[in-house]
Structure 1
């Protein structure tokens, strides 16, 4: 067998077997990654609904020999890509934001400022929990919250327990909305956050929905004090953990705000503690 024959055989092997196998594997990986990312979103239900309807209509059109309708369905599948961008717009925005945050340099000075702020915030939340004073505090991390801060009452204050308690004091001008923490400072109050549309969490108030909403779209951490029960909760990556003690809250904030990486065992432990 000549070198030319070997080259032809290798080319045929690639085009006939290896190439298609690699393409199939790549497609399966992409599909799995998309399903894994969107598995907990309400948009996945919409996607499955659209697919089921289109498949059903396609089967019906084929059985009844509706050629024009079949042609429309074929072209409709092509338009489905554009429809998916619209349906998954919030999820895609969050995914690209998180991807961009990977390449954002980590600030050591931010760690120092946040370390000083954690104890003050934990103290403030404990006091407000005792008095059942509702509160919502958001830590900006790698993904910026400039749009939300720009529409809020902008401040530039060092974090202080008494100041936070006064901001959330009932009937005060700024007690509604969220306080935004950026680089160890209070940079905004009376901030309006996006509300989660997730249906997994029932019987929660507006503050908790806002906490979930902002953590679904960004890498922020949101802390909540319930006005009804006084319980302290935190939201992270679209998950809500409720009724946490001051010690547990401080430990969580230090791990997430002061450490660059979190071990897989820690992530699994947090997921097991999530309360719905």
Structure 2
């Protein structure tokens, strides 16, 4: 058996390896394409067109409708051009991101999170209410479509201007995708939880609502107390300092820890805070 195995020509092995490599490349490309277009408005249009063409093609073959079959054959040849037209904005953004995507992604994310933390800290000092939604893997395009669309690089001063009292855009939430503010005055679904504290206002309920339906991370600044909170996967963590907020966002956005890891993150942050406070407490007791 070993003799027959080693007698296989090397060209055949190379062909098998090429076939496996091609399958892997096609799998990755198809998956990444579908993942990227999951929240796009044109995705439902393309799905509808594809289903209609498949049904008509099947009927034409079953009923032997030669003219219709000939027409559909020509239409299938134009699907590629239709995809380019339907997804023109998404493709343009994808190629722009591909050109700028690199090993600096983590650095860009940290810069974005720094701007968000600075804005939250400044608004907390002034007790200026705010609600910021950071998109992760699940797209929020349906909310963007129903909001005031923007395309602004994330900046602390811009965020503070949006949520400034009596500003036309201060109601609702802003949606942040990558390093851009893509929407303002977004109306989020409210939480369906019944055991929520009555002290929590609409912003906190909306932050919990969107975090229950998607994997988005929301940052809330209370208008009454100036307290900073973070919500993810239906869990709300309140009264955070800017340093704690930065740690949460790094874990959830950069390291992409999910709700299963969030409890561990909270415990780790609390232990770090206890260790920082321990020397001060010991010093106070000794004096």
Please tell me the TM-score bracket, short chain as reference.
Answer: 0.5 to 0.7
SS state at 1:242 partner: strand
Task: Tell me by how many angstroms 1:210 deviates.
Answer: 0.3
**Structure with bigger RCO (C-alpha 8 Å, 6+ apart):** 1
Alignment of 1:143-162 (within 5 A): 143-162=138-157
Map of 1:116 onto structure 2: 111
1:241–1:273 contact (8 Å) kept in structure 2: no
Distance 1:216 1:165, change over 3 A: same
SS state at 1:228 partner: coil
Aligned pair count?
169
Distance 1:202 1:214 in 2: 17
Map of 2:45 onto structure 1: none
| 1:164 to 2:159 alignment | yes
Alignment of 1:191-230 (within 5 A): 191-203=186-198, 204-230=200-226
| 1:253 to 2:249 alignment | yes
Alignment of 1:1-276 (within 5 A): 111-203=106-198, 204-261=200-257, 267-270=263-266
Per-residue CA distance 1:130-180 (angstroms, 9 max, x = gap): 110000000000000000011000111011111100000000100000000
Distance 1:108 1:191, change over 3 A: farther
Task: Tell me by how many angstroms 1:271 deviates.
Answer: 7.2
The gaps in structure 2 that reach 5 residues or longer are 1-100, 271-287
SS state at 1:193 partner: coil
Distance 1:240 1:107 in 2: 33
Distance 1:109 1:192, change over 3 A: farther
Distance 2:253 2:119 in 1: 18
Distance 1:109 1:144 in 2: 23
Distance 1:208 1:108, change over 3 A: farther
Q: CA RMSD in A?
A: 2.6
2:248–2:265 contact (8 Å) kept in structure 1: no
Task: Tell me by how many angstroms 1:112 deviates.
Answer: 3.9
Map of 1:27 onto structure 2: none
Distance 1:146 1:261 in 2: 22
Task: Tell me by how many angstroms 1:184 deviates.
Answer: 1.3
Task: Tell me by how many angstroms 1:113 deviates.
Answer: 3.0
